[in-house]
Amino acid sequence: MNKRILVAYASKYGSTKEIAEKIAGVLQQAGLQVDALPVTDIHDLAPYAAVILGSAVYVGKWMKSACDFLKEQEHALAERPLWIFSTGPTGEGDPVALLDGWRLPPDQQPVIERLRPRAVTVFHGNIDADRVNWIERTSVKALKKPFGDFRDWGLITSWAASIVESLKASELAASN
């Protein structure tokens, strides 16, 4: 069985990509073979033993490319261990609370629940006022959300380390 792990992501301005790369780096440091790729570059999950999937959240929704990937790959994702993360809320405090209590965008909840991921989490995001377009900047201000980088790299690293532990425990169980 192939031991490659896929960290698939949908990122508009690069913040979610950086989180995916950090997760991939933690897994690589643990000796795992990892690819971190945008969802638009992935057409076949056969080479991968497990998948970590993340998307930026805009106005309470995952990016369209992540939604399309989830639908297109639902059967393949159901056959392997899966972890899900969303990124986006800015500000201080619990990112789930900042998203009005949800861990998954409502539109994706049914399919993700069918896939039964091992863990679902939300990470704070990064909104750079100089990089977003006028409509996005106006929306962020109207929602009274702060601009800035609120990502918690320690939390991201520990979540990735928990994935390493889960994968290694699965490998040990399979070898016995």
Residue-wise pLDDT for 37-71, tens only, equals 999 999 999 999 999 999 998 877 899 999 999 99
Largest CA distance in the chain: 57
Kindly state the average pLDDT of the residues 128-139.
72
Assigned CATH topology for domain 4-171: Rossmann fold (3.40.50)
- Torsions phi, psi for 127 (to 5 deg): -120, 110
176 confidence band (pLDDT: 50, 70, 90): very low
pLDDT at 170: 79
Nearest CA-CA partner of 123 in 87, 155, 97, 170: 87
pTM above 0.85, yes or no: yes
User: pLDDT tens-digit profile of 81-92?
Assistant: 999 999 987 777
Alpha carbon of 61 to those of 21, 65, 126, 135: distances in Å?
Answer: 22, 11, 16, 16
Q: Where are the domains of the chain?
A: 4-171
